[in-house]
Amino acid sequence: MTFQQFVFYVLAGILLFAALRVITARNPVHCALFLVLAFVSCAGLWLLLEAEFLAIALVLVYVGAVMVLFVFVVMMLDINLSRMRTGMFSYLPLGLAVALLMVLEMGLVLWSHNVELADMLPPAAPAADYSNTRELGRLLYTEYVYPLEIAAVILLVAIIAAVALTLRRRKNTRYQDPTLQVSVRREDRVRLVSMPPVRRETEGANTAPGVSAAADPQARGAP
């Protein structure tokens, strides 16, 4: 067994274990974290295929952004674990049927061509200056530019739809307008008061100098 095969089996083993735990772990947060582990091991497998751009993009997009939001939401939910687990066996036959159907479909595709491992030769080793990223970009923006644009438009529509469905304007929402906050000047908030010094005349008088000055309208400066 070469070193590469060893790495492949280790990563594949971790991937299968993590994927299994995603559906069997009791705590939803653990499920989400196992999904992260599954993505990372999958990225490792893609690196073995020398698809480094896809592998890094998988980590960047799914692990770094999508799953963070996922974990974020799952942690906020107040999930009743015991109620989640009831009814598992009533759904089991349906789930098994769907799984069997999927296995059958995959089998049909694989067997209909009657391919063997020997038919799938490894691709020729690329040249030293071959850049995976550059090739992918060239293909995406020349040959597949219309599918790419259509996919982008579909995603944009999905974003707008999601915002439109969830946006709810409440009448009494309080918010601050940053432009108003920034444009505040000192004169709007602080009033300088010029107060002539007041001598305390009698010992034991209970009017403090500041109070008497503020009460005296003559002592106030012009606004």
Partner 1 sequence: MDLTIFERFFGPTWPAVWTLAKIVAIVVPLLACVAYLTLWERKVIGWMQVRRGPNRVTFFGLRWLGGLAQPIADAFKLLLKEIIIPSGANRFLFVLAPVMAIMPALAAWAVIPFAPELVLADIDAGLLYVLAITSMGVYGIIIAGWASNSKYAFLGAMRSAAQIISYEIAMGFALVGVLMAAQSLNLGDIVVSQVGRYGFLSWFFIPLFPLFLVYLIAGVAETNRLPFDVAEGESEIVAGFHVEYSGMTFAIFFLAEYANMILVSTLCSIMFLGGWLSPFAFSALNDIAFARWLAAPGFHWLAAKIFVVVFFFLWFRATFPRYRYDQLMRLGWKVFIPITLIWIFVLAVWMMTPLWPW
- The residue ranges that bind partner 1 (CB under 8 A) are 29, 33, 36, 52-53, 56-57, 59-60, 63-65, 68-69, 71-72, 75-76, 131-133, 175-176, 178
Distance CA 35, CA 29 (A): 10
Complex with partner 1: residue 56 or 219, whichever CB lies closer: 56
Complex with partner 1: residue 54 or 219, whichever CB lies closer: 54
Nearest distance from C-beta of residue 206 to partner 1, angstroms: 39
Complex with partner 1: residue 22 or 71, whichever CB lies closer: 71
Distance CA 193, CA 221 (A): 5
Where would I find the H helices in 129-175? Answer: 132-141, 145-166
Complex with partner 1: residue 32 or 213, whichever CB lies closer: 32
Nearest distance from C-beta of residue 36 to partner 1, angstroms: 7
Complex with partner 1: residue 8 or 53, whichever CB lies closer: 53
Distance CA 38, CA 11 (A): 9
Q: Do 82 and 27 form a contact (C-beta atoms < 8 A)? A: no
Nearest distance from C-beta of residue 59 to partner 1, angstroms: 4
Nearest distance from C-beta of residue 155 to partner 1, angstroms: 15
Amino acid making up residue 159: I
Helix or strand run (H / E) with residue 39: helix 28-48
Distances (CA, A) of 120 to 106, 112, 200: 17, 15, 103
Nearest distance from C-beta of residue 19 to partner 1, angstroms: 19
